[in-house]
Structure 1
Amino acid sequence: MSVSTKTANGITAALQKEDVIGDLFPERATSSTFIPEGSLLVDYTEPNTTVALGNVLPTETTQTVPSFNYKPFKEMDIESKYTLVMTDPDAPSRTDKKFSEYCHYVITDIKFTDAKEGGAIIPNQNNVELHSYIGPGPPKGTGLHRYIFLLLRQTDASLTDFTPVKERFNWGYGQPAVGIERWANENSLKLIAANYFLAENK
């Protein structure tokens, strides 16, 4: 088994532990298991605040937009563009989905220049920020929330206008437990990488 296969299997296991893909992509989860195409690395500026597939982080150290880096497991398509999102499926709690999913961040039209190395995801004038970053703000006493970062490939090269995310609650759809899966389907996005952390307000 190659190192990249072991890493991919480890990511899949960590996502399954908290049912990340099952909750965000229930249609996909019933037909296949998500196999990541690379590692999505997420680091906040505060010391010891690296997102590590389900670790618990303080809300106060995750309020500013983190840095992102993508490491593909094999050569990637650098002609494509990519979308990065952060979403919370536990709003206001994991058992109460009336505000879920909550959209924390959306940036589209990301380009990579190295087919083998991927690279940093740097917000600049070539990207389109559909929603600025909002850090975690779980209501007091609602338990641990999953804050999930996703990298998706834009498979429709002709798409220039994404479906607007009109509200952060329910991604603007007005239905509990609805968000990234519907938005990704509407905009021809394919999930390729994921990472997440847990946070709560005791």
Structure 2
Amino acid sequence: MEDTQVVPDVIESSPEETLIVKYGSIECTAGETLKPVQVRSPPELDWGADDEAFYTVCMTDPDAPSRKDPKSREWHHWLVVNIPGKNVKDGETLSEYIGAGPPKGTGLHRYVLLVYKQNEKIKCDEKKLSSNSGAGRGKFSIKNFAKKYDLGQPIAGNVFLAEWDDYVPKLQKQLTG
């Protein structure tokens, strides 16, 4: 996370555990470059979860609209809270998954996936966001969200890189209706 400057751009320190992120048969290695077409569906995640605990998962892009000009930092792609154990599908989705979609000509973007262990189930007042719109996703801060809900530091994380490919226009069309 230090190599890709996720620390300090997104979080204050690296999580102790590497989050296992699988997009179909592709297992994401930290810092690896993937294509937006490869990450269009939510990944399978695995970490050393306690079956009795609740977790929060977030995927965020600190490079919106570009790493050189991150004026919309962070653009969050996925946010799920109250996940029992590691059963992400059974959690409460605040922001439905949207895959990587860096605008043409903006270079590589970092996509950061983080897991936080909750002290208890939380009640969030954020508006729920669908995958059909990009509204309400920019200028997010997972650091501030974690502070608001007393989540502490992430316990697991991973990061991959992606840049524009032929799939991105389809994703952009989905987001603008």
Could you list the runs of 5+ residues in structure 2 that have no partner in the other structure?
Answer: 129-135, 166-177
Cross-structure match for 1:145: 109
Q: Is the 8 A contact 1:104 1:133 kept in 2?
A: yes
Cross-structure match for 2:147: 185
Q: Is the 8 A contact 2:122 2:149 kept in 1?
A: no
What are the Cα deviations for residues 17-40 of structure 1, in whole angstroms up to 9, with x where unaligned? Answer: 011121012xxx3xxx4341x331
Cross-structure match for 2:9: 23
What are the Cα deviations for residues 99-146 of structure 1, in whole angstroms up to 9, with x where unaligned? Answer: 11001001111122xxxxxxx54402xx10111100011011111100
Q: What letter is aligned with 1:39?
A: T
TM-score (norm 2): 0.81
| Structure possessing the higher radius of gyration over alpha carbons | 1
Q: Once the 2 structures are TM-superposed, how far is the Cα of residue 93 of structure 1 from its aligned partner?
A: 0.7
Cross-structure match for 2:21: 42
Cross-structure match for 1:123: 89
What are the Cα deviations for residues 133-182 of structure 1, in whole angstroms up to 9, with x where unaligned? Answer: 00011011111100010000112x2x5322415710112xxxxxxx1111
Q: Once the 2 structures are TM-superposed, how far is the Cα of residue 79 of structure 1 from its aligned partner?
A: 3.5
Q: Does 1:170 pair with 2:139?
A: yes
Task: Write the distance in 1 (CA, Å) between the matches of 2:38 and 2:127.
Answer: 26
Could you list the runs of 5+ residues in structure 1 that have no partner in the other structure?
Answer: 1-14, 113-119, 172-178
Cross-structure match for 1:195: 158
Question: Identity percentage over the alignment?
Answer: 35
Q: Is the 8 A contact 1:136 1:147 kept in 2?
A: yes
Q: Once the 2 structures are TM-superposed, how far is the Cα of residue 50 of structure 1 from its aligned partner?
A: 1.9
CA pair 184-65 structure 1, distance change in 2 beyond 3 A: same
| Secondary structure of residue in 1 paired with 2:7 | helix
Q: Once the 2 structures are TM-superposed, how far is the Cα of residue 78 of structure 1 from its aligned partner?
A: 4.3
After TM superposition, which residue ranges in structure 1, 4 or more long, deviate above 4 angstroms? none
Cross-structure match for 1:154: 118
Structure with greater contact order relative to length (CA < 8 Å, sep ≥ 6):
2
| Secondary structure of residue in 1 paired with 2:80 | strand
Cross-structure match for 2:80: 107
Q: What letter is aligned with 1:123?
A: K
